[in-house]
Structure 1
Amino acid sequence: MPVLGFNITKVEMEKKAIGVPGGQIEVRLSPKIKEMRLGEIRTPTGKMNGIEVLFRYEIDYNPKVAQGVIEGIILYVPPQKDKMDEILNLWEDEKKMDPVTFAEIVNFITKEVSPMIMLLAKEMRLPYHIPLPRVEVKS
């Protein structure tokens, strides 16, 4: 797996309304990459270089009943080690990532952060960001 480390540095959720209004409530998730830099992790076999990716995951409700943010860092190691410099140079020059790397990183972050968002929504009595399966009785 190309992600070797994952660390949450900030979790914030604020309820803006006392009650949740009825009707359609839209939950928008916005993953953003704040910074990328060279990083390393110590393993039993020695040090391993990778790319530290600082992210910000914003949660917005419409109508404005709540909003939140989760920030953290992952250590990403590309499948081809020689692409590390290419990825970092593209970020330094243009603050961009190639679509395959971006998708891989955002999918990992979403997988790790989604259970936390579910728990926060449950504790704060907010709608979940993904629909839960429901059983319906048919006559």
Structure 2
Amino acid sequence: MFLLIKEYMTILGLNYTKLNIETKQISHRGISINTTPKILNVTKTQIQAGKNQIPIVVIDFSFTSQFNPKIANLVINGNIVFQPKDESKTIDSWKKTNKLPREEEVEIINYLFVKITPFALFLSEIFRIPPIIALPKIELKQEKKEEVKK
């Protein structure tokens, strides 16, 4: 399945390479969670499509959720395979600044949040740690009692 993002890049795939979940203690009150996707490396390669070689870019990433107090730690590493409109510009930007062109970086980070957050929620349920995002809750409202004046 290919995912066309805007007019300047096509995501060809998402691969997981490492998963690390560490639980330290059980506590679900007063917890703050900092989730940070980070681009670790960008490389250019090619894939075979019939008789043609198609240039692609592989982005290695880390998706980390740190819990405070330190009750757990969640790290998901992997790579995204994509075809930017101008792979030379993407690679040159990475080599010079260790950053992608801004429009590509924003789309890649958003893609990571969209694809990995549901997986991280699933893992949080299995490992009995708080979800990395706030989930909606329905609460029962207490009816206000009106005092009757005599």
- Share of identical aligned residues, percent? 27
- The higher radius of gyration belongs to 2
Which amino acid in the other structure matches residue 20 of structure 1? S
Partner residue in 1 for 2:89: 86
Q: For the structure 1 residues 91 and 55, does the alpha-carbon distance in structure 2 shift closer, same or farther, using more than 3 Å as the test?
A: same
Q: For the structure 1 residues 129 and 21, does the alpha-carbon distance in structure 2 shift closer, same or farther, using more than 3 Å as the test?
A: closer
User: Aligned-pair RMSD on alpha carbons?
Assistant: 1.7
- Measure, in 1, the Cα distance between the counterparts of 2:35 and 2:50: 37
Partner residue in 1 for 2:148: none
> How does 1:20-35 map onto structure 2 within 5 Å?
20-22=27-29, 24-35=30-41
Give unmatched runs, 5+ long, in structure 2: 5-9, 144-150
Q: Does 1:103 align with 2:106?
A: yes
The residue matched to 1:77 in structure 2 has which SS?
A: strand
Displacement of 1:40 after TM fit? 2.8
Partner residue in 2 for 1:130: 133
> How does 1:23-102 map onto structure 2 within 5 Å?
24-43=30-49, 46-78=52-84, 80=85, 83-102=86-105
Partner residue in 1 for 2:18: 10
- Measure, in 2, the Cα distance between the counterparts of 1:77 and 1:57: 21
Give unmatched runs, 5+ long, in structure 1: none
TM-score, length of structure 2 as denominator length:
0.81
- Measure, in 1, the Cα distance between the counterparts of 2:20 and 2:50: 34
Q: For the structure 1 residues 134 and 43, does the alpha-carbon distance in structure 2 shift closer, same or farther, using more than 3 Å as the test?
A: farther
TM-score, length of structure 1 as denominator length:
0.87
Aligned length: 134
